[in-house]
Amino acid sequence: MGLQGIRANNMWLAVFASVAMAFGLAWFDIPGHCAAFAARDSDLAAALLDGHTLYLIGMAVTVALTALWPLFFERHAKPFLAGCVCAGAVVNALYCFSASLSLTAFAVVLMGLVDVLFINLTAATTLMYVVDRRVQASSVICALALKTLIAYMVDFLPSSVAQMGFFIVLPLVGGAFSFLALAKVTPQDRDIADARLKFAFPLSAIMLGILLMSSVVFAATRVVSSLGFWGSGHVLADGSVAGCVILTLAFLVLSYFTLVKVDSRLLFRFLPALLCLFALYALVYTGMGEGVGMPTTALASLSLYAEVYGHAFVWSVILLAVRTLQTPALRVMGIQFGLFVVMELLLQRFLLACGQGSLAVVMFAFFAALAVLVWALCHFDGMRQEEVAPHCAAMGGISELDESESPAVATEPVHDDAPAQAEPIDPRLALAQSHGLTPRETDVFLLLAQGRTRRFICDELFIADGTASTYISHVYDKFGVHSKQELLTCVLEGESS
């Protein structure tokens, strides 16, 4: 398959994975906020537990299992996905037509287990193999936008029976797109994913901290929005289709410019997203919107999209963590969503017990987590390359940072008491050392020596396009060449000698 064919195949992979995730995410929203299920949700909450809490219990089981045995689930992804699709249709039918509240509650727990397993497996086995970071992030954003439209449009179906029928077949449609995406994953995609450079300590520890704190931010965002409680009704139900479409387009534009089209350094990638989330949060939940005369429907719409934007932010953190941590994708999601479940249950119980007056405490938790996230990002961005280079070299990892301008140092041979041979030095590393390349220039050189493009180097080393061009120019100058082809010739000659 040629380069154009690989790119086209990867684009279809992103499209199918995005649609599959949209149906998986709508799977949760519809029973909690669709008019056809309002009475059932109220009866369930009055007799036992509210549907949202029951769903989170099932979700907790899934994230625990996938965090403990991620490779097992990934190796058997197809049978597990097929099981999720079939079980999902049965569970949804049980939820729709069961006359027993106990069976209905059991169906909601199973729904949380099966639905989250479907979403996470789809993401781990398809979306994570999308090579281009921007396409990958855009896929999640489009999935969330499409999910919102699907959940909103279900209320426009002519009867409750039609709405329930759509809900029952929804897993089958999502499963079909998930298997279409699986069919588009090629060995080349897997090879590229396996070859991605990973963070080593201490950068990996900071990335893990960012992952965990973002889940606290997301939990607080969901709890204070109407989507955090089942039976609340869809906040856009009284609006027009045109209004929902306009809001969705606004969400896509906002997400694109703050989560996709940003500088590759971590601080500048996430800080705009956090500031936008802060602005939406403050406008909706602190009374600022009412203070400037915004109508109730507008505030309700912003509430929905603050939650969806928070969801997009969390997935962008997950995608980066999967690319940079030496941990399977399902374990990363298990860690993230595991803490999210715990925090949302605690915050939800707190709000229910203490009333709306406790909203200020939840908002304090949100802003405190936001402050810690900003501090972690600034600390991450401010670490010096020379402080982390030895750790990164030990594991073949790279750092987010620029620039220690000291020459790259090859690994020293290891000796013991008996006559021993020095460990062989990678000829390409030796070549980089002999030409006086800095550690960052060495990272760029090693990728150029594999024939990688500048765009690939940007994504792998998390540097901007202009920064990559500068490093490539430095490498060319130190090798005395003017093109990648000439550099590859030097590499081949150096390896042969």
Q: What is the pLDDT of residue 408?
A: 37
Answer for the pair 494, 449: CB distance below 8 angstroms, yes or no: no
Domain boundary among 382, 413, 443: 382
Is residue 197 included in any domain, yes or no?
Answer: yes
Q: What is the pLDDT of residue 411?
A: 34
Is residue 395 included in any domain, yes or no?
Answer: no
Domain boundary among 382, 408, 440: 382
Q: What is the pLDDT of residue 380?
A: 65
Q: Give, in order, the Cα–Cα distances in Å from 433 to each of 105, 367, 429, 479, 488.
A: 64, 47, 6, 11, 16
Residues 155, 280 within the same domain: yes
Residues 437, 342 within the same domain: no
Q: Which residues contact 59 (CB under 8 A, 6 or more apart)?
A: 112, 113, 115, 116, 337, 341
Is residue 469 included in any domain, yes or no?
Answer: yes
CATH number, domain of 297, equals: 1.20.1250.20
For residue range 175-200, list pLDDT tens digits in order: 999 999 999 998 877 877 777 767 77
Number of domains within the chain: 2
Is residue 419 included in any domain, yes or no?
Answer: no
In eight-state DSSP terms, residue 176 is H
Residues 161, 268 within the same domain: yes
CA torsion, ordered 58, 320, 316, 223, to nearest 10 deg:
40
Share of the chain above pLDDT 90, in %: 29
Residues 93, 212 within the same domain: yes
Domain boundary among 382, 411, 439: 382
Residues 158, 252 within the same domain: yes
Residues 143, 198 within the same domain: yes
Is residue 391 included in any domain, yes or no?
Answer: no
Residues 133, 240 within the same domain: yes
Quote the domain boundaries for residue 199.
3-382
Is residue 468 included in any domain, yes or no?
Answer: yes
Residues 195, 274 within the same domain: yes
Q: What's the whole-number mean pLDDT along residues 285-308?
A: 76
Q: What's the whole-number mean pLDDT along residues 30-51?
A: 81
For residue range 421-434, list pLDDT tens digits in order: 444 557 788 888 88
How far separated are the first and last CA of the chain, in Å rounded?
Answer: 33
CATH number, domain of 466, equals: 1.10.10.10
For residue range 374-426, list pLDDT tens digits in order: 777 776 655 544 344 444 443 333 333 333 333 333 333 334 444 444 445 57
